[in-house]
Amino acid sequence: MKTILRPEVPANKEVDVGCGFALGSVFIRWSSGDTLHMREFDPAEAAKIHRVLMGERIDACPKDGSKDALVISWHELPHGTEEWRFGIVNGETFFTLNADQALALAWGLEGACAAALYWAPPGKRHHVWVLSSKRMLTGDSAENGSGQLGGCERVFSTKEKAFDSLREFMRILVNEAEPNSSVDVDGVIDTILGSASVNETVWHYDGTKQSFEVTLNKVEVEA
């Protein structure tokens, strides 16, 4: 997921932001060029970040064992816009997120926390099912350079639970792809699902503003 470094030096410098997990830990990473930064959190501390991203809290200072205390905070900007800032308390801001980017990262953290807490008896392999999305600008929206907007992931214990959440997962993607509020979102989702072949786990849609691809993958987890 691409965002903008604040303060903007050099101007409009892009930062790639994402998250991941290991057994018992959740990671947030951001990179610009060849420089990669990463912070490791206990899932309970990562949940504090998730609460801010979802609007339950204005700010939080999750602990990660570093000497530099981190803060993620919500800010209301002019013209009714919002942004979320991730940085050091009373210091540098590493990156900012707009509302869509904050929601995407929140979804990623939700899946990462669930996967980090999952435990299986030593030596035994189990599986989880991961819903992933990728978004691209299309048409006139790509005039300033077409590029991937990022995506999000959600992790489920069974394939059935993943399919049960598929419509909800696609709903915000369709809303972002079709800026016209008169579009029948449920009808679009019905068309996307209806055009897929039996047992297919990849879905595509080309909208007025954005296109997206949703995939469902079976991932092996070994303790």
List helix spans (H) across 55-165: 99-117, 159-164
Determine the average pLDDT of the residues in 162-187: 86
Beta-bridge partners for 83: 75
- Residue 209 pLDDT greater than 70, yes or no: yes
Element (H, E) at 150: strand 148-150
Determine the average pLDDT of the residues in 6-10: 39
- Residue 208 pLDDT greater than 90, yes or no: no
pLDDT of residue 61: 93
Nearest Cα residue to 109 out of 172, 27, 15, 168 = 27
Nearest Cα residue to 81 out of 64, 92, 96, 66 = 96
- Backbone angle region of 55, left / alpha / beta, with phi > 0 → left and psi within -120 to 50 → alpha: left
Per the prediction, the chain carries an average pLDDT of 81
- Give the percent of the chain with pLDDT over 70: 81
- For residues 4-42, b (16+ Cβ closer than 10 Å) or e, as one string? bbbeeeeeeeebebbbbbeeebbbbebeeeeeeeebbbb
- Backbone angle region of 29, left / alpha / beta, with phi > 0 → left and psi within -120 to 50 → alpha: beta
More confident residue, 6 or 60: 60
- For residues 168-188, b (16+ Cβ closer than 10 Å) or e, as one string? ebbebbbbbbbeeeeeebeeb
pLDDT of residue 65: 79
Q: Quick one: pLDDT band at residue 62, thresholds 50, 70, 90?
A: very high
More confident residue, 214 or 180: 214
Give the CATH number of domain 2-117: 3.30.2450
What is the per-residue pLDDT across 93-112, written as a single tens digit (0 to 9) for each?
889 999 888 998 999 898 88
Domain boundaries, the chain: 2-117, 125-222
Least confident of 53-62, 92-101, 177-186, 193-202: 193-202
Q: Assign 198 to helix, strand or coil.
A: coil
pLDDT of residue 50: 94
Query: What's the token pair of residue 168?
Result: 């909800």
